[in-house]
A and B are shown apart, each in its own frame.
Chain A
Amino acid sequence: MSEIRVENLSHIYSSGTPFEKTAIENIDLCIPEGQFVGLIGHTGSGKSTFIQHLNALLSPTGGRVLCGGEDINRDKQARRDVKWKVGLVFQYPEYQLFEETVYADIAFGPKNMGLSKEEIDERVREAASFVGVEEELFQRSPLEMSGGQKRRIAIAGVIAMRPGVLILDEPTAGLDPAGCRQVLDNICRYRKETGSTVIIVSHNMDDAARLTERLLVFDHGRVAMDGTPEEIFSRPQELVNIGLAVPRATAIAMALEKRGIKLAGSIYTHEQLKAAILKARGAGAC
């Protein structure tokens, strides 16, 4: 029961003052349970505002957000309860670590839910194993961990609430390639084993193209494009017009097309690119 439906959602900051600014406008969409969604767009395109509406951190100035068919801004209790259903991992989540031990920090969310000690313990261990944090580290201070470890501990702190929807704002920003891969693998495993919906904000088009089932492209507070990666990257020129990057494979295909070599189909992975080039060569195009 964690389908997310967004109806006509708008948000205006500082409404009624000279600093009024429309962050998102008339967004209508539905994210079915279990979908892996990628959110792409510029800084300031409204992505962050949008995801903060999904767990009632911000309340809409217009429209509604429904989770499992119920309005999440119904009353105070609903606004609080939705935090367990929709887990939000902010950018650079390691900056929110505060407890003395790794264990206590992961347990913060479940503790706020009012669970029993045993239940909390079970969830902490489960969350830690999802992100690959060994139990030997439980009694250490989170502040003395490496950057990648901190990031994974912070993500575990949200996973421990067992949210049916997991939202991550640029979970790989500032990590080295190994750390990036690890974090993304953890997220994929969490989704596979729990069947949760995952929404990921990313600037890395290659990751977005490779991992997700559906992409939402934000531009100036609206959803400019909505579709599978295949659909989206079959119109790469539109992305470029918005000012966004395209996956490396798509960029190469576009460059080839400019030189008169037209490759067939939507290309966004290296495998597709290779296959398309070989096919074009077979047909005698180059």
Chain B
Amino acid sequence: MLKDITLGQFFPGDTLVHRLDPRTKLIAVVLYIVALFQAGGVVGYMLLILAAAACMAVSHISPKSIFKGLKPMIFIIILTGALNIFYTTGTPVLPGWIITWEGIIRAVKMILRIVLLITGTFLLTYTTSPMALTDGLELLMNPLKKIKVPVHEMTIMMSMALRFIPTLIEETDKIMSAQKARGADFETGGLIKRARALLPILVPLFVSAFRRADELAVAMESRCYHGGQGRTRMKQLRFAGIDYGALLASAAFLAGVIVLKKFGL
């Protein structure tokens, strides 16, 4: 049950998108998001949808898995749409209604923006392993080290957090079974009773998370880990021809969207 949660899940594969350097994909996603907020007219949005669909096709990511990821966001999406429909002034759809044409158009645009934003980031996490992603992030943020931003520490924390999500989920399952065996009841009762029933799960979970963190720290220190200074990597990231091509295409795409906006398309 808990195991079914997908969270930044990686689908291994060997497509063009999978082979791209993680830095390329990170930059491309950032450019895509900028384009998303630059697009003005129908043509611009069509281009954005087309680009997302093309990436999905090339990377063999099914729309189904994207929708699965969108599910938890459905509330926010609907709320945004509703707020835009009801709170935009303009010409009413029917005389006397508060719903306006402008409101509907704006709501559709906002919803499209959110959906495409999520789709774009999912395409990144679905096609890039967490390790590659953090490596790419660290290299991209490297210049920040000059102004004393602890880039390496931040990225290693991120990869560790990602690494321990499945472990903690498994642990939660185990603790839940153990407490159920002692007659704990998680299913019945009101909100307060149910919240209280979580205590027998949360306390052991926190205790074990701290224990794990301690053990991990000792294990890292005993292997002479001392932060990012002078650290080399086993897998060196290198830009290849396709990376330059992909970056160029992304930049051209953003420029195109901006130009289209100038023409009001």
Q: Which residue of A93, A95, A98, A113 is within 8 Å of B183 (Cβ)?
A: A113
Cβ–Cβ contact B175 & A95, under 8 A: yes
A55-B181 contact in complex given A95-B208, A98-B200, A108-B200, C-beta closer than 8 Å = yes
**What B residues does A95 contact at CB under 8 A?**
174-175, 178, 204, 207-208
Q: Does B192 contact A (CB under 8 A)?
A: no
Q: Nearest Cβ distance between residue B178 and chain A, in whole angstroms?
A: 4
Instruction: Tell whether B182 is near chain A: CB-to-CB under 8 Å.
Output: yes
> A91-113 interface mask toward B, CB cutoff 8 Å, 1 = contact, 0 = none?
00101111000000000110011
Give the complex CA separation of A184 and B175 in angstroms.
23
- A55, A88, A98, A108: which has the most chain B beta carbons within 10 Å? A98
Q: Is the CB of A98 within 8 A of B178?
A: no
Chain B residues, CB < 8 A from A97: 204
Q: Given A52-B177, A57-B177, A96-B175 in contact, is the A158-B182 Cβ separation under 8 Å?
A: yes
Q: Which size bracket describes the interface of A in this complex? A: 20 to 34
Q: Of residues 173 to 205 in B, which have CB atoms within 8 Å of A's CB atoms?
A: 174-175, 177-185, 199-200, 203-204
Contacts of A161 in B (CB 8 A): 182-183
Contact yes or no, B207 A109, CB < 8 A: no
**A143 to B210, alpha carbons, bound, how many Å?**
13
- B64 CB to nearest chain A CB (Å): 14
Asked if A152 is at the interface of the complex by the 8 Å CB criterion, the answer is no
Q: Are the C-beta atoms of B181 and A57 separated by less than 8 Å?
A: yes
Bound-state CA distance A98–B184 (Å) is: 13
List residues of A (47-62) whose CB comes within 8 Å of B's CBs: 52, 55, 57
* 29 residue pairs A–B, Cβ–Cβ below 8 Å: A52-B177, A57-B181, A80-B183, A83-B180, A84-B183, A89-B181, A90-B177, A90-B181, A93-B178, A95-B175, A95-B178, A95-B204, A95-B207, A95-B208, A96-B178, A96-B182, A96-B200, A96-B204, A97-B204, A98-B199, A98-B200, A108-B179, A108-B182, A108-B183, A108-B200, A109-B182, A109-B183, A112-B183, A143-B207
Q: Are B178 and A83 in contact (CB under 8 A)?
A: no
Q: Contact residues of A with B, CB < 8 Å?
A: 52, 55, 57, 80, 83-84, 87-90, 93, 95-98, 108-109, 112-113, 143, 157-158, 161
A90 CA / B185 CA spacing, docked (Å) = 18
Shortest A43–chain B CB gap in Å is 15
Q: Shortest CB–CB separation between residue A86 and chain B, in angstroms? A: 9
Structural contact, A87 and B204, CB atoms closer than 8 A: no
Q: Which residues does B use to contact A, with CB under 8 Å?
A: 174-175, 177-185, 199-200, 203-204, 207-208
Contact with A158, one of B175, B181, B185, B203 (Cβ below 8 angstroms) = B181
Q: How far is the CA of A196 from the CA of B185 in the complex (A)?
A: 25
A57 and B183 contact, Cβ closer than 8 Å, known pairs A95-B175, A95-B204, A98-B199: no
B180, B181, B208: most-surrounded residue (chain A CB, <10 A): B181
- List the B residue with the shortest CB-CB distance to A158: B182
Q: Which interface residue of B179, B183, B203, B204 has the most chain A CB atoms within 10 A?
A: B183
| List of 10 A-B pairs having minimum Cβ-Cβ separation, nearest first | A112-B183, A98-B203, A96-B178, A109-B182, A88-B181, A90-B178, A98-B200, A83-B183, A98-B204, A96-B204
Complex CA distance for A93 and B207, rounded to whole angstroms: 13
| Least CB distance, A70 to chain B, in whole angstroms | 18
Docked complex Cα distance between A109 and B199 (Å): 14
Residues of A within 8 A of B200 (CB): 96, 98, 108
Report Cα–Cα, A31/B81, bound state, in Å: 61
Given contacts A96-B179, A98-B200, 19 further A-B contacts (CB under 8 A): A52-B177, A55-B181, A57-B180, A83-B180, A84-B183, A88-B181, A90-B177, A90-B181, A95-B178, A96-B204, A98-B199, A108-B179, A108-B184, A112-B182, A112-B183, A112-B184, A112-B185, A158-B182, A161-B183
